[in-house]
């Protein structure tokens, strides 16, 4: 089974459509095979073998085109004949795709990329924060018959401390949730200001825009100040359906304000007030050429067993401070828990609908 003859059916290729560089051509052939059992696969394989298969350039009679390629082959057996086929090769632009159709925000078909609905996705990731307040499962002192030491009933919310009631440094960590919202939208242009919102936090409370609430069914919620960070912003230049555009993607991270058990206040950095000091003992050097007197030793700073190195010299110790530059005394830890100071390392950004080409947030 094979093709025994192939003739061009006319003197010229037929231009069926032409819009600028989007010319489309049809080239008819008359093909004769040697067996009635030959089918369309025989025809397609034959044209492929002579260099005129799918993807090949147009070459027909006196016409040769290098910017169009064969996009389809239509073989039809001639009526009343078992051996003759009428075959049409269809050519189209080498760099043109079929128009892509998506939906707009109302669910209607759309071919203009600027009308496509946004791609909105969410997720949750976790980061670790220190724990300085928790519920103690075991009582202080332990139930071992010895009732000396710091007293604290079980299941009491308070600072995490040792058996002396002293908090040297929060020894526990916890996983804190951080919500991630990604929005991709097509925009006609690129503006560097839309990328500069990355790494900025909100100075004022926000909520979702009306567009997100109505078109994308985002439940109304209030995002407190300091709790929104634009984690990233970027764009990709694309062309689709003869339209040039930028596909912008913004990623926002959302946290919560500080609470009794969570000192992390949104995206503000929380630093524990602590420092290096030496336990004050009367008669010890004060480091300024003099000695510490009894009057220098305040309540809660009584003599204690100091940490010493292998030579017997006292070494600096890390202690918590009370917010006023003084050590936090062991007897203070219940009524005066560790002190934290907040710091802002991210610049502010209004984050309202005027900041971006698409309305994402608004004032609550």
Query: Mapping DSSP to helix (H, G, I), strand (E, B) and coil, where does residue 260 land?
Result: coil
CA–CA distance, 209 with 357 (Å, rounded to integer): 13
Give CA–CA dist 9/32, Å, rounded: 12
Higher pLDDT: 284 or 115? It is 115
Could you read off the pLDDT of 178-216 as tens digits, one per residue?
999 999 999 998 888 888 888 999 999 999 999 999 999
The residue ranking higher by pLDDT, 132 or 294, is 132
- Sheet with 206-208: strands ordered across: 222-223, 206-208, 361-362
Residues recorded for the chain: 364
**Segment 32-68, tens digit of pLDDT:** 999 888 888 788 889 989 989 888 889 888 888 888 8
Report pLDDT digits (tens) over 307-363: 555 666 655 566 677 787 776 665 444 545 677 788 998 888 776 644 688 888 888
Q: Compute the average pLDDT of residues 19-31.
A: 81
Q: What angle do CA 346, 351, 355 make, to 5 degrees?
A: 115
| pLDDT beyond 90 at 114 | yes
Q: Which of 298, 303, 358, 302 is nearest to 326 (CA)?
A: 298
Rounded CA-CA distance 274/317 in Å is: 10
User: What DSSP character marks residue 331?
Assistant: G
How far, in Å, CA of 29 to CA of 85, rounded? 8
Closest to 166 in 3D by CA, of 336, 341, 281: 336
Report the SS3 class of residue 186: strand
Question: Which pair of structure tokens corresponds to residue 92?
Answer: 């189209």
For position 282, what pLDDT does the model report? 63
Strand residue runs (E) in 241-328: 243-254, 269-272, 274-277, 317-320
Strands, E assignment, 54-162: 57-60, 63-77, 84-93, 102-103, 109-110, 119-131, 133-135, 157-159
Work out the pLDDT band at 267, boundaries 50, 70, 90: very high
Name the residue among 300, 297, 265 with its Cα closest to residue 280. Answer: 297
pLDDT of 256 above 80: yes
d(CA 205, CA 226): 8
Task: Provide the pLDDT for residue 335.
Answer: 47
Query: Are residues 224 and 207 in contact, defined by beta-carbon separation less than 8 angstroms?
Result: no
**Location of structure tokens 């299941």:** 155
Per-domain residue ranges of the chain: 3-93, 114-131+177-258+352-362
pLDDT at 303 over 50: no
The rounded percent of the chain whose pLDDT value lies above 70 is: 77
73-112 pLDDT per residue, tens: 888 888 888 899 999 998 888 765 556 678 999 989 998 9
Closest CA to 188 of 246, 262, 139: 246
60-98 burial string, b = 16+ CB within 10 Å, else e?
beebebeebbbbebebebeeeeeeebbbebbbbbeeeee
- The per-residue pLDDT for 312 is 65
- For the chain, the first-to-last Cα distance in angstroms comes to 76
Tell me: pLDDT of 294 over 70: no
Q: φ, ψ for residue 282 (rounded to 5)?
A: -55, 135
* pLDDT of the residue at 41: 79
pLDDT over threshold 50, residue 2: yes
Predicted pLDDT of residue 309: 57
User: Rounded to an integer, what distance in angstroms lies between the CA atom of residue 148 and that of residue 142?
Assistant: 10
- Look at 194 and 18; give whichever has higher pLDDT: 194
| pLDDT at residue 99 in the model | 64
Q: Give Dmax over CA atoms of the chain in angstroms.
A: 123
- Specify the range with the lowest mean pLDDT, choosing from 121-125, 226-230, 309-313: 309-313
Checking if the pLDDT of 31 tops 90, the result is yes
Give the pLDDT confidence score for residue 76 in this predicted structure: 86
């Amino acid at each position: 089974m094979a093709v025994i003859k192939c003739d061009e059916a006319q003197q010229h290729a037929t231009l069926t459509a032409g819009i600028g560089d989007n010319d489309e051509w049809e080239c008819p052939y008359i093909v004769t095979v040697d067996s009635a059992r030959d089918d369309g696969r025989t025809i397609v394989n034959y044209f492929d073998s002579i260099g005129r298969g799918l993807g090949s350039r147009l070459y027909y009679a006196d016409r040769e085109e290098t910017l169009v390629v064969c996009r389809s082959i239509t073989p039809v057996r001639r009526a009343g004949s078992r051996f003759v086929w009428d075959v049409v090769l269809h050519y189209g632009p080498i760099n043109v795709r079929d128009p892509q159709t998506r939906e707009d925000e109302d669910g209607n078909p759309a071919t203009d990329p600027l009308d496509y609905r946004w791609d909105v996705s969410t997720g949750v990731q976790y980061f670790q924060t220190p724990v300085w307040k928790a519920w103690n499962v075991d009582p202080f002192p332990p139930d071992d018959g010895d009732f000396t030491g710091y007293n604290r009933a079980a299941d009491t919310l308070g600072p995490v401390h040792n058996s002396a009631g002293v908090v040297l440094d929060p020894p526990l960590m916890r996983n804190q949730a951080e919500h991630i919202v990604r929005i991709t939208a097509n925009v006609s242009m690129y503006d560097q200001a839309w990328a500069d919102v990355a790494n900025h936090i909100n100075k004022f409370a926000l909520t979702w825009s009306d567009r997100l609430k109505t078109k994308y069914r985002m439940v109304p919620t209030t995002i407190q100040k300091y709790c929104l960070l634009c984690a990233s912003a970027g764009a990709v230049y694309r062309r689709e359906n003869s339209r040039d555009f930028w596909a912008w993607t913004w990623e926002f991270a959302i946290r919560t304000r500080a609470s009794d058990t969570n000192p992390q206040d949104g995206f503000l950095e929380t630093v524990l007030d602590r420092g290096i000091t030496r336990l004050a003992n009367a008669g010890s050097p004060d480091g300024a050429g003099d000695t510490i007197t009894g009057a220098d030793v305040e309540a809660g700073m009584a003599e204690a067993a100091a940490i010493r190195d292998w030579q017997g010299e006292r070494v600096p110790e890390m202690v918590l401070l009370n917010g006023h530059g003084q050590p936090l005394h062991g007897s203070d830890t219940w009524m005066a828990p560790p002190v934290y100071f907040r710091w802002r390392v991210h610049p502010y950004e209004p984050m309202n609908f005027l900041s971006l080409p698409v309305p994402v947030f608004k004032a609550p």
